[in-house]
A and B are shown apart, each in its own frame.
Chain A
Amino acid sequence: MADVTDVIYLDNNATTRVAPEVVEAMLPAFGPLYGNASSMHTFGGQMGHYIATAREQVAGILGADPEEIIFTSCGSESDNAAWYSATETQPEKRHVITTKVEHSAVLAYGHYLEDKGYEVTWLGVDDKGQISLEELERAIRPDTALVSMMYANNETGTIFPIAKVAEIVKSHGVQLHVDAVQAVGKEVIDLSRLPIDYLALSGHKLHAPKGIGALYVRRGTRFRPYVKGGHQERGRRAGTENVPYIIGLGKACELAASNMEKERTQVAALRDRLQEGLLAAIPHCKINGDQAHRLPNTLNISFEAVEGEALLLQLDQYGICASSGSACTSGSLEPSHVLRAMGVPFNYAHGSVRFSLSRYNTGAEIERVIEVMPTIVSELRKISPFAAFLKK
């Protein structure tokens, strides 16, 4: 099995390596500090302090108040909880607006509401993956309960103009949920200035473990708990707190805040080098996404006339980890819903590869990818029946 020493990990939008500092911070809670924060005794009760610190750390990276942070089990739960609360607290409003390029956690909730008789407006995107603000404004109705939109797209890195979205949505008095799972730690988010009602984040995208997330709920927003039961999280999310992971998420947010600059300069520079290197060395490629508004770590590039899974498995031979929006990697038989919504032509859509970097990547790793990729693509093109149609 390949381990961290011999892989070049460029799949950080799928999940990230847990930062060593995070592991270290979590360990005591797996060992001697096993108490339950809800207990009356000091031994358990002291865990409350750790949770409070973590809550401050998470609030810190968002410009939020600690009381506005609810710990959840993952990004998907945060998304679901926001939709649940927004619709349950406004039962008379039966219309929701979202986009066609959301993560499945949001798409699925939209389809679920449609089955229940709700009307959902699915905003389309242009060829860069951008929404139209005019279209958004036109879609808002008196019975709109919620607008839900991702901050940045996990496949292409395209960043939506959330500040403008918030302005429009709030001017109509409608609630706004933002899936910021891919953006936290990479984009500066200041909720003290951004009028967002709900915001979802997930630990494993920012060097905390998988299976921990948080939901921001703006103070004053009426809330109904999605997970019902005990009084944990001030009655907003039942279930005995996952103390070690909460500590880990807090630590990861603290680290992310201090590494944000690095993420936006150093990581962005590596990504740009990768993009330039590949474009220069390989003909017939196309960048997917909005290069002017894009996460600093993400490069989604399509290689015409070759198929994504074949590219990934070839890369795998070199220990290079990436992902693809190809149909063959998704099990759905159709290329990614995001690329399709963008109208990426089939000859490109099937051959997309997403490289997503992190602060742990090095220049040497990037050069290695630039070195091996041209051969991989040209070998696959040699056996592709469509390569003959590539324009000279």
Chain B
Amino acid sequence: MWEYTETVRDHFLHPRNAGVLEDANVIGEAGSLACGDALKLMLKVNEQGIIEDAKFQTFGCASAIASSSALTELIKGKHMDEAAKLTNKEIAEYLGGLPKEKMHCSVMGEEALEDAVRHWKGLPSKAHAEEGRLVCKCFGVTDLQIIKVAKENNLTTVEEVTDFIKAGGACGSCKDDIQSILDKLHSMEKPLQEIRPVPRMTNVQRMQKVMTIINEDIAPRLALDGGSIELVDVDGTTVVVALRGACSGCSASQLTLKNLVEKTLREQVDSAINVVEA
């Protein structure tokens, strides 16, 4: 038997905002029948972008229902941009934690929300955008999804990835692939620890500078178009960023990357900088 917290039990037995939202104008979906859990998030978003009401329908176990309930509670009354920042971690924390094998339920909440945000911005669902490379056929999980969840939750093993996003949990044939994605991810992180002396600027200094410029200069500009950017890594002169919101998956994202981000950083930090997307 799973050890559920009192909060999880409470949200399962007395789900908040369960049912159909008749006047919903934004819908987000995640999961599928085949996967064993699915969530339909229904939002009523006003012209200012504030979530006036939220409801859900969930097919799944107790923690899937509780995560959906928590999700709606967490985002109600917020602006969509604000809500978009919600991560699966916060959902799990709101519930006082989930058994690790059940973390994928909180991830499903985050994914449904992401889907809703995309729709709100007039973008298609992720599945249609075909982002990333399909890694786990059984659960339809791409490399980008794995990288994202691994980063957000500091996952280091294949088992952890399975707990969070299911990939690898059925036939298991994708486990090696997941491992190599993790390996790559971590070999990318390692150089962060070593400070390699480079002329005039250390890696740490460069990183700080890049971070400041991204946060204070580039991000506000992207936000105007409903997008956001996150600094993932700086390795020597290679800057790894993740584009979110309207930017991610947008066909113009490569242009954004080169024209805006790379150009700005080259001008202000180092002419050798090369920007890549995570």
What total of chain B residues lie within 8 Å of the partner, measured CB to CB? 32
**B34 and A307 within 8 A (CB):** no
Partner of A385, one of B59, B62, B101, B162: B59
A98 within 8 A of B: no
CA distance A266 to B64 in the complex (A): 39
Taking the closest CB of chain B, its distance from the CB of A105, in whole angstroms, is 21
Known: A310-B62, A382-B19, A383-B65. A332 touches B57 (CB 8 A): no
Taking the closest CB of chain A, its distance from the CB of B164, in whole angstroms, is 12
A313 within 8 A of B: yes
B188 within 8 A of A: no
Q: A340-368: which residues lie under 8 A (CB-CB) from chain B?
A: 346-347, 350
CA distance A346 to B138 in the complex (A): 13
**B18 and A382 within 8 A (CB):** yes
Q: Which of A171-179, A210-218, A323-331 contacts B (4 or more CB under 8 A)?
A: A323-331
Residue in A closest to B166 when the chains form the complex, CB atoms: A333
**A310 and B65 within 8 A (CB):** yes
**B38 and A383 within 8 A (CB):** no
Partner of B36, one of A314, A331, A350, A383: A350
Chain B residues near A310 (CB-CB < 8 A): 12, 60-62, 64-65
Q: B35-63: which residues lie under 8 A (CB-CB) from chain A?
A: 36-40, 56-62
B13 within 8 A of A: yes
**B33 and A384 within 8 A (CB):** no
B249 within 8 A of A: no
B227 within 8 A of A: no
Known: A317-B13, A382-B18. A305 touches B36 (CB 8 A): no
B201 within 8 A of A: no
A88 within 8 A of B: no
The number of inter-chain residue pairs (CB within 8 angstroms) is: 78
B170 within 8 A of A: yes
Chain B residues near A329 (CB-CB < 8 A): 61
**A307 and B60 within 8 A (CB):** yes
B97 within 8 A of A: no
CA distance A331 to B162 in the complex (A): 11
Taking the closest CB of chain A, its distance from the CB of B10, in whole angstroms, is 12
Q: B10-30: which residues lie under 8 A (CB-CB) from chain A?
A: 12-13, 15, 18-19, 29
CA distance A346 to B39 in the complex (A): 16
**A385 and B58 within 8 A (CB):** yes
Taking the closest CB of chain B, its distance from the CB of A372, in whole angstroms, is 14
**B62 and A309 within 8 A (CB):** yes
Known: A309-B62, A333-B170. A383 touches B33 (CB 8 A): no
**B36 and A327 within 8 A (CB):** yes
CA distance A35 to B28 in the complex (A): 68
B169 within 8 A of A: yes
CA distance A233 to B2 in the complex (A): 39
CA distance A305 to B36 in the complex (A): 10
What total of chain A residues lie within 8 Å of the partner, measured CB to CB? 27
A386 within 8 A of B: yes
Chain B residues near A346 (CB-CB < 8 A): 33-34, 36
Chain A residues near B139 (CB-CB < 8 A): 333
CA distance A309 to B64 in the complex (A): 10
CA distance A383 to B64 in the complex (A): 12
Chain B residues near A110 (CB-CB < 8 A): none
A253 within 8 A of B: no
Chain B residues near A307 (CB-CB < 8 A): 36-37, 59-61, 64
Chain A residues near B34 (CB-CB < 8 A): 346
**A383 and B18 within 8 A (CB):** yes
Known: A310-B12, A313-B12. A333 touches B59 (CB 8 A): no
Taking the closest CB of chain B, its distance from the CB of A246, in whole angstroms, is 30
- Mask: chain A, 300-324; 1 = CB below 8 Å from B; 0 = not: 0000011111100110010000000
Chain A residues near B162 (CB-CB < 8 A): 333
Chain B residues near A305 (CB-CB < 8 A): 59
A75 within 8 A of B: no
CA distance A386 to B38 in the complex (A): 9
Chain A residues near B38 (CB-CB < 8 A): 385-386
A244 within 8 A of B: no
Highest count of chain B CB atoms <10 Å: which of A333, A346, A387: A333
Taking the closest CB of chain A, its distance from the CB of B202, in whole angstroms, is 45
CA distance A309 to B59 in the complex (A): 11
Highest count of chain B CB atoms <10 Å: which of A305, A347, A385: A385
What are 23 inter-chain pairs, A to B, with CB distance below 8 A? Answer: A307-B61, A309-B2, A310-B12, A310-B64, A310-B65, A313-B9, A313-B62, A326-B61, A327-B36, A328-B36, A328-B37, A346-B36, A347-B33, A382-B18, A382-B19, A383-B15, A383-B56, A385-B29, A385-B39, A385-B40, A385-B57, A386-B38, A386-B59
Question: Which residues of B are in contact with A by a Cβ distance under 8 Å?
Answer: 2, 9, 12-13, 15, 18-19, 29, 33-34, 36-40, 56-62, 64-65, 101-102, 138-139, 162, 166, 169-170
